[in-house]
A = this chain, B = another copy of it.
Amino acid sequence: MFDYQELKSKAPQALRQIIRGGQYKAHTAGLAKGYLQANLMILPQAHALDFMRFCQRNPKPCPLIAVSDTGNPFLETAGVDIDIRSDVPAYAIYRDGMLAGESHDIGSLWTDEMVTFALGCSFTFEHALLEVGIDVWHITNNTTVPMFKTSIETVPAGAFSGETVVSMRMIPEERVEEVYGICRQFPLAHGAPLHAGDPAAIGVRDLLRPDWGDMAPSLPGCVPVFWACGVTPQVAIKAARLPLSIAHKPGHMLVTDIPDGAEIPIMKP
């Protein structure tokens, strides 16, 4: 087993090899700095066109960075030798749209009908915020970002619909506008926030009780700022009641070979 600290200096491919070998099963925040990490959704081809439309219509929660060929477990445009069956530290398995278990290897669930979708992730803009000296509480405190279901409806596609999930970070009041400007530069990482201020305005009732991740406290002089979150598809597949679909476990992302600052998220295979 590798320790989180030991992995900080690893390049993406080396890191994925360690994960593939079952030697690291925890969250990937702060690892492979400078490279895109991704949310994951794997589902049967019969639903893939509608899911892809769902992502296209909801680009802030679901910024598509890669889509596999049907039945091909290698995600060729996202990096070298990415085997999606084993290269993510932890998977969430959904049956009939409900969370049914976790795994560290989904080789036994993969079929010729599966299509993999990788969606950009908040780690990209969090780096950018840290670089201009904006503290991100859950990183400093080594917890998972708090995530909430909201009242903001997604634009439906086929059977996929439901509320947008957001992640929350406390931002000093006088820097909120600056944060919007920075994040708008990362359309593949959820872009500008969806909301700043009163949580109730977007249907979040209790800031101290997130639906996913860990609680983060209110901070003096700060306002809660909410970003569209890559866990949104996990709500949408609930609505669609797919017999089987596989996501990443929140916080446990796919590490790609695509540089953070790439204009487009495509490595020519």
Contact between A264 and B59, CB atoms less than 8 A apart: yes
**Which of A24-32, A48-56, A97-105, A201-209 touches B?**
A48-56
Which one of B58, B67, B191, B263 lies within 8 Å of A56 (CB-CB)? B67
Q: With both chains docked as a complex, state the minimum distance between the C-beta of A50 and any C-beta of chain B, in angstroms.
A: 9
Query: Given the complex, which residues of B lie within 8 Å of A60, measured CB to CB?
Result: 264
Q: What's the Cα separation between A64 and B158 when bound, in Å?
A: 18
Q: Which B residues lie within 8 Å of A58 (CB)?
A: 266
- With contacts A48-B49, A52-B52 known, is A77 near B155, CB below 8 A? yes
Q: Which residue of B lies closest to A153 (CB)?
A: B268
- Docked Cα-Cα span, A236 to B10, in Å, equals 39
- A interface: dominant SS: loop
Query: Which residues of B have CB within 8 Å of A48?
Result: 49
Instruction: Check B187–A69 contact: CB distance below 8 A.
Output: no
Query: Of B52, B64, B66, B192, which is within 8 A of A263 by CB?
Result: B192
What is the bound-complex CA distance between A263 and B60, given in angstroms?
9
Q: Does A150 contact B (CB under 8 A)?
A: no
> Would you call B266 and A59 a contact (CB within 8 A)?
yes
A85 at the interface (CB under 8 A from B): no
Q: Which residues does chain B contribute within 8 Å of A53, judged by CB atoms? A: 52, 67, 69
Interface residues as binary, A19-52 with B (CB distance below 8 Å gives 1, 0 otherwise): 0000000000000000000000000010011001
A269 and B49 contacting across the interface, CB-CB below 8 Å: no
The answer to whether A157 has its CB under 8 Å from any CB of chain B is yes
Contacts of A158 in B (CB 8 A): 69
| A57 sits at the interface (CB 8 A) | yes
* A56 cross-chain contacts in B, Cβ below 8 A: 52, 64, 66-67
Which residues of chain B are within 8 angstroms of A59 by Cβ–Cβ distance?
264-266
12 further contact pairs, Cβ within 8 A, besides A52-B52, A56-B64 = A49-B49, A49-B52, A52-B53, A56-B66, A56-B67, A57-B67, A58-B266, A69-B157, A69-B158, A155-B269, A191-B263, A192-B263
The contact sample of 25 A-B pairs, CB cut-off 8 A, is A45-B49, A49-B70, A52-B52, A52-B56, A52-B67, A53-B67, A53-B69, A56-B64, A56-B66, A56-B67, A57-B67, A57-B266, A58-B266, A59-B264, A59-B265, A59-B266, A69-B157, A69-B158, A155-B266, A155-B268, A187-B187, A187-B263, A187-B264, A191-B263, A192-B263
**The 9 residue pairs across chains A and B that have the minimum distance between CB atoms:** A49-B49, A59-B264, A52-B52, A53-B67, A56-B67, A57-B77, A48-B49, A56-B64, A191-B263
